[in-house]
Structure formats: structure tokens, C-alpha cells
């Protein structure tokens, strides 16, 4: 009898081991297929939800093009997103986007990743998943569970749940059983969906024309501006009534800090306060860290104070290790969910500049380095 129990236990261990191996093999297969891509086009739809009440905030779709043969040293890929309302692109040297209503194309020379226009489209794109899936597989802080197979847009899919230890963030990824390409990716905060991204109509065989990535070939009837030229044009536009722009007062708050004390907004003695709302493993938050560290050092003597507010957790469990791992140098506050709600924060990273009168003078969902620095220098 004892021998049978031992045999059953051994069999159970073997089965559990095989199940664990199977789920990893599926994701490994997906990773291999994505890494093999030299170019890809597909249709994608992004949905952004309010993580506090589940409401759909915005939704947009785009035809997406990636050329992974690019030799640029910034991200190693050219991309182009065509939404029908606006286009974003990067050709390895310049980013560009269109303003359809004014028939304008604005381009910018890029030297660092954080300057990339359209970075929100990169989040959870196929290019981004080429980085994320290996992290899921190799990070012991993430627990992967395979759920029951399901149908997504009539395609039978593997379904995986990825949970981060000591974090409020989790993910679901659905893999098409026919080709092992991602079909749907969802990011959750506190079990509420934040981002939902779908992938359809893959074409991995067609060659993508270089003309697609050249902003000067996008439209013969468009005016083409550098970002500097466009700013001058906007400033000289007589239709803009700047006196109509009112500055909203920032609601006061007190939050605990990682140093063990608390910080109150109205008691910060500074000419200008930069606040970043972030959460662990947020793609855009991580990519912005080196630049925020640099900005803090450069403008501190001129009166800029920088605080990061983690807005998904009610405690600081796991944050100290995360902050050390990613070398976050600005002071970090936590338990910021109520403040984020008051400030209508819907995603990370979101940045605010608050002047010494306690007024908002800048807000950005996403990190745009040049734009932020211009706002800092203008208000110091």
C-alpha cells in the first residue's frame, strides 16, 4: 500500500513538472517565432481603461508596420503606425507624425529612446513583446499559470496568467494555437484592466518599402516642419488665445515616503515640483528613469524638486528592492491611489509640473523628454 502511495506521488510530481514545462514551452515557442521576425505588419487595437472604476477611457486602432532589420542603436527597429486619423513613424534617425486636420508633418531627430514620438503605440506592441516575453520566462518574481484554452475572434488560443510577486500588476496573454503569435494582451492593476491590446491579420512575408518610413514621402500636399519650426508656427498662430488658458489649482495631499517620513505638497519649498505617477514594471516608467534622474540633477539647483508617486499599492512591500534594482534616484512616495484619482491619472507614467503658487503648469500622459524640459525651463 505504501509503495502505491509513493508511486502515485511520483506520478503526480511528474505530471506537474510536465505541465510546467508545457506552458513554458508554449511561451518559448512564441518567443522564438517573434525573435525570428525580420518584418511584420498587423492590425492592432488599443483600449485604455480607468484602473479605478473600469471605464473605457480611450480606444484606437492602427495598421502597424515593423522592420526589424534596422541598424539604428536606439531600439533597432523602424516602425510606422497608421490609424487613419494620424500617423506615427520612426526610420532609425527621425520620428515623425501627421496632423491630418492641418495637413502637417512634424519630424524630430532622435538621439535617445525617450524622445521617440508615438511611444504609447510601442507599449505592448509586437516589438515590445519581443522584450517582455523573455522577461516573463526568466524573472522568478513572476508566476506564470496556464488557464483553459479559449476563443479570441474565432481563433483558438492558449491562455496564460502572469502575476508579479509583491505587486498589484498582472497580465494575461493569449497565444494563437495556429501560429503561436500573440492574439491579445491585457495588463491589470489591482485586478482591473488598464491596457488591452489585440493583434490581427499578421503578414510576415511581405517586404516593407523603405518609403513608408520616410516622412518627406508621406504626402506631397502636406507642410513639413521640424519640431522647432512647428513650435514657432504655433506661437505665431493668431488663432490661439493664450489668455483663455486657465491654470488649475493642484489639490493638496500628504503621502508616506520610502524614507519613513511623510511629504505634503503645500509644504514643499520649491520653485517648481515635478511629480511622476508610476507603478512597478510599467514599460514607459522604466524607460524614463535615466532621463528623470538626469533632469533632477540638472535642475535641482535652480529650484526643481522631483517626486515619484507609486499609485497602485497601499503599502511599500517590494518597492525598496524595485527602486534599487532600477536605480530610481528621485524620492519615492507610495499609497498614491487617491491622489492619482484626484488628479485624473489613467496610466503610467503621468507627469505634472506644479509651480510655487500650487498651480498645474504642465501635464503629460507618457514621457516626452524635450517637451518636459522646455516646460521646466519655462517655469523655473
Helix (H/G/I), strand (E/B), else coil: 82: strand
Return the axis-axis angle of helices 283-299 and 369-379, rounded to nearest 10°: 30
Contacts 24+ apart (CB under 8 A), 237-241: none
CA contacts within 13 A on the Cβ side of 111: 3
CATH 3.40.30.10 domain residues, the chain: 245-379
Cβ–Cβ < 8 Å for 182, 130: no
The C-alpha cell that represents 95 in the structure block:
520620428
**Which of 271, 295, 276, 278 shows the shortest CA–CA distance to 369?**
295
Instruction: Determine the pLDDT at residue 13.
Output: 47
Instruction: Determine the pLDDT at residue 10.
Output: 46
The C-alpha cell that represents 58 in the structure block:
480611450
The string over 93-103, giving b where at least 16 C-beta atoms fall within 10 Å of a residue's C-beta and e elsewhere, is ebbbbbeeeee
Which fold does the domain 25-228 belong to in CATH? outer membrane lipoprotein receptor (LolB), chain A (2.50.20)
CA angle 69, 74, 78 (to 5 degrees): 40
Rounded-to-integer distance, Cα 349 and Cα 347, Å: 6
Cβ–Cβ < 8 Å for 3, 123: no
The number of beta carbons lying within 10 Å of the beta carbon of residue 205 is 8
- Return the CATH number of the domain spanning residue range 245-379: 3.40.30.10
Instruction: Determine the pLDDT at residue 2.
Output: 47
Strand order in the sheet with 272-278: 332-333, 304-310, 272-278, 350-355, 360-365
β-pair partners for 364? 351
Q: What is the pTM of this model?
A: 0.72
CATH 2.50.20.10 domain residues, the chain: 25-228
Cβ–Cβ < 8 Å for 312, 319: no
User: Which residue intervals of 225-336 are DSSP H helices?
Assistant: 227-235, 283-299, 319-325
Rounded-to-integer distance, Cα 248 and Cα 234, Å: 23
Tell me which residue has cell 524640459. Answer: 373
Instruction: Determine the pLDDT at residue 327.
Output: 92
Cβ–Cβ < 8 Å for 37, 195: no
Say which DSSP state 211 is in. G
Rounded-to-integer distance, Cα 290 and Cα 260, Å: 25
pLDDT (tens, 9 = 90+) of the chain, 380 residues, equals: 445 554 555 444 444 444 455 667 899 999 999 999 999 999 999 998 877 777 888 888 999 999 998 878 788 899 999 887 778 888 888 888 887 767 788 888 877 776 776 667 788 999 999 999 998 898 888 899 999 999 998 999 999 999 987 777 899 999 999 999 999 999 988 788 888 999 999 999 888 888 888 877 766 677 887 776 666 665 555 443 333 335 789 999 999 999 889 999 999 999 999 999 998 877 778 888 998 999 999 999 999 999 999 988 888 888 898 899 889 999 999 999 899 989 988 788 899 999 999 999 999 888 888 788 889 998 99
β-pair partners for 171? 162, 187
Instruction: Determine the pLDDT at residue 18.
Output: 46
**Does 13 sit behind a cis peptide bond, omega within 30 degrees of 0 on the bond before it?**
no
Amino acid at each position: 500500500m505504501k509503495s502505491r502511495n509513493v508511486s502515485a506521488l511520483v506520478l503526480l510530481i511528474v505530471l506537474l513538472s510536465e505541465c510546467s514545462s508545457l506552458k513554458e514551452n508554449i511561451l518559448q515557442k512564441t518567443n522564438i517565432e517573434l525573435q525570428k521576425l525580420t518584418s511584420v505588419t498587423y492590425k492592432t487595437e488599443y483600449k485604455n481603461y480607468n484602473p479605478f472604476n473600469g471605464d473605457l477611457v480611450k480606444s484606437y486602432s492602427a495598421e502597424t508596420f515593423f522592420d526589424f532589420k534596422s541598424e539604428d542603436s536606439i531600439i533597432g527597429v523602424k516602425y510606422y503606425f497608421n490609424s487613419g486619423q494620424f500617423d506615427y513613424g520612426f526610420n532609425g534617425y527621425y520620428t515623425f507624425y501627421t496632423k491630418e486636420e492641418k495637413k502637417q508633418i512634424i519630424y524630430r531627430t532622435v538621439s535617445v529612446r525617450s524622445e521617440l514620438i508615438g511611444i504609447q503605440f510601442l507599449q505592448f506592441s509586437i516589438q515590445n513583446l519581443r522584450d517582455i516575453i523573455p522577461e516573463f520566462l526568466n524573472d522568478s518574481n513572476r508566476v506564470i499559470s496556464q488557464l483553459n484554452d479559449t476563443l479570441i475572434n474565432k481563433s483558438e488560443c492558449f491562455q496564460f496568467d502572469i502575476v508579479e510577486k509583491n505587486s498589484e500588476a498582472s497580465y494575461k496573454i493569449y497565444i494563437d494555437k495556429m501560429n503561436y503569435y500573440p492574439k491579445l494582451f491585457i495588463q491589470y492593476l489591482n485586478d482591473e484592466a488598464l491596457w488591452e491590446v489585440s493583434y490581427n491579420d499578421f503578414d510576415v512575408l511581405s517586404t516593407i518599402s523603405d518609403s513608408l518610413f520616410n516622412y518627406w514621402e508621406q504626402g506631397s500636399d502636406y507642410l513639413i516642419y521640424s519640431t522647432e519650426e512647428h513650435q514657432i508656427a504655433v506661437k505665431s498662430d493668431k488663432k490661439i488665445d493664450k489668455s483663455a488658458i486657465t491654470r488649475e489649482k493642484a489639490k493638496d495631499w500628504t503621502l508616506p515616503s520610502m524614507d519613513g517620513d511623510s511629504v505634503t505638497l503645500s509644504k514643499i519649498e520649491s520653485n517648481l515640483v515635478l511629480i511622476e505617477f508610476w507603478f512597478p514594471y510599467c514599460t514607459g516608467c522604466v524607460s524614463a528613469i535615466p532621463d528623470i534622474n538626469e533632469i533632477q540633477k540638472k535642475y535641482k539647483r535652480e529650484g526643481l524638486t522631483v517626486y515619484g508617486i507609486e499609485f497602485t499599492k497601499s503599502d511599500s512591500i517590494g518597492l525598496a528592492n524595485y527602486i534599487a534594482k532600477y536605480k530610481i534616484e528621485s524620492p519615492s512616495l507610495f499609497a498614491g491611489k487617491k491622489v492619482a484619482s484626484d488628479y485624473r491619472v489613467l496610466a503610467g507614467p503621468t507627469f505634472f509640473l506644479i509651480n510655487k503658487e500650487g498651480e498645474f503648469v504642465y501635464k503629460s500622459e507618457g514621457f516626452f523628454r524635450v517637451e518636459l524640459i522646455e516646460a521646466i525651463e519655462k517655469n523655473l
